[in-house]
DNA sequence: AAAAAATACGCAAATCATTTGCGAGTACTT
DNA sequence: AAGTACTCGCAAATGATTTGCGTATTTTTT
């Protein structure tokens, strides 16, 4: 099943990927159609095996769901466009605080920080 | 100029609006085209008068930029789809902390909390 | 193991928010 | 008033994602 190929790519990549990136990767191993990638991804998201996050570029990014990890929160560099995970924020703690103080039951959350990473900041000064 | 009509709608609405919502509103006063709304909105965003945020629904939401306000961070109810501003998080402080601890220069950020608001939580129990 | 039922997949067309090219209208400059 | 610049409407384009449908592959049933 092609699902396994898609799952494998996700498992072997530390950061999140777009459907197209996954498609390109899997295509090198098997013949596969982009819509199959999307369909499979949607299934995995439904089963809560994969997390989908839409970023400001309007593209969906996928990665393996990882219960106890804040790795899904990124700082995205405007220059090199790399996404760096941040663990500065304890999101679970924040979620509980919100629940306590506002009564709002958070089921999912998205954080997206845009800026310029240290590397690119350095380069721009040269 | 139609720009003024769009600006007015934004000024008179406490929460963020989609281009279509703005279009519907302005249409009641003047004849206007959707693409004019988008064009104008993009201008205002470029001039940093308006803030644009793409949510998980892949739709862009616009509101007046407000330097010293965390009001742009919302909790969005999965049930009634209302967006409630949150001031629980001091985002400016967080931004400085990230800069200090990681060297990443944050230029903008997005937070999106999804869940069920107190009102809808109550209703679901009935 | 073959038939029946269910699921996976490829392909092409559809969707939907947003953008863009172009031509006409309006405002501003000299 | 002529010339230049900006504003806007309209129709078509864009691009990520979805969907209908027919075929292939897998799983279940007998």
Nucleotides in chain C near protein beta carbons (<7 Å): 8-13, 17-21
Residue that wins the pLDDT comparison between B108 and B10: B10
* Final residue of a structural domain among A65, A86, A114: A65
Buried b (16+ CB within 10 A) or exposed e, B16-46: bbbbebbbebbeeeeebeeebbeebbeebee
Indicate the number of domains in chain B: 2
Q: How crowded is the C-beta side of B68, counted as CA atoms within 13 Å? A: 0
Interface of A with B in 5-64 (CB under 8 A): 53-58
User: What domain range is A30 assigned to?
Assistant: 1-65
Cα gap A115→B23, rounded to integer Å: 31
The β-bridge partners of A29 are none
CATH code of the domain in which B89 resides: 3.30.1490.190
Q: Tell me, yes or no, whether B72 and B114 share the same domain.
A: yes
Decide if A75 and B114 are in contact by the 8 Å CB cutoff: no
* Final residue of a structural domain among B12, B43, B65: B65
Is the pLDDT at A70 greater than 50? The verdict is no
> How far: A2 CA to D30 C1' (Å)?
30
* Final residue of a structural domain among B12, B46, B65: B65
Q: Tell me, yes or no, whether A10 and A57 share the same domain.
A: yes
Average pLDDT, chain B: 85
Helix (H) or strand (E) run with residue A22 in it: helix A19-27
Is the pLDDT at B11 greater than 80? The verdict is yes
Helix, strand or coil, per DSSP, at residue B54: strand
Contacts of B29 (CB under 8 A, 6+ apart): B5
Decide if B112 and A116 are in contact by the 8 Å CB cutoff: no
Residue that wins the pLDDT comparison between A71 and A91: A91
DSSP string, B35-47: HHHHHHHHHHHHT
pLDDT at position B70: 46
Q: What is the pLDDT of residues A35-66, one digit of tens each?
A: 999 999 999 999 999 999 999 999 999 999 87
Name the closest residue on chain A to residue B106, using Cα atoms.
A115
Q: What is the pLDDT of residues A103-124, one digit of tens each?
A: 888 878 887 888 888 888 887 7
Decide if B98 and A75 are in contact by the 8 Å CB cutoff: yes
Which residue of A104, A114, A119 is the best one to mutate when testing the B interface, meaning the one whose CB has the most B CBs within 10 A?
Answer: A104
Decide if A113 and B106 are in contact by the 8 Å CB cutoff: yes
Cα gap B17→B60, rounded to integer Å: 8
- DSSP count for chain B of H helices, then E strands: 5, 6
CATH code of the domain in which B43 resides: 1.10.10.10
């Amino acid at each position: 099943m092609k699902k396994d190929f898609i799952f494998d790519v996700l498992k072997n990549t530390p950061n999140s990927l777009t459907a197209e990136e996954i498609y390109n990767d899997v295509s090198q191993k098997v013949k596969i159609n982009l819509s199959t990638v999307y369909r499979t991804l949607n299934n995995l998201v439904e089963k809560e095996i994969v997390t989908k996050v839409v970023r400001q570029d309007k593209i969906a990014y996928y990665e393996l769901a990882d219960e106890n990890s804040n790795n899904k929160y990124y700082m995205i560099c405007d220059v090199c466009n790399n996404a760096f995970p941040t663990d500065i924020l304890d999101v679970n703690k924040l979620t509980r605080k919100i629940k306590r103080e506002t009564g709002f039951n958070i089921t999912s959350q998205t954080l997206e920080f845009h800026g310029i990473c240290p590397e690119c900041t350095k380069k721009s000064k040269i």
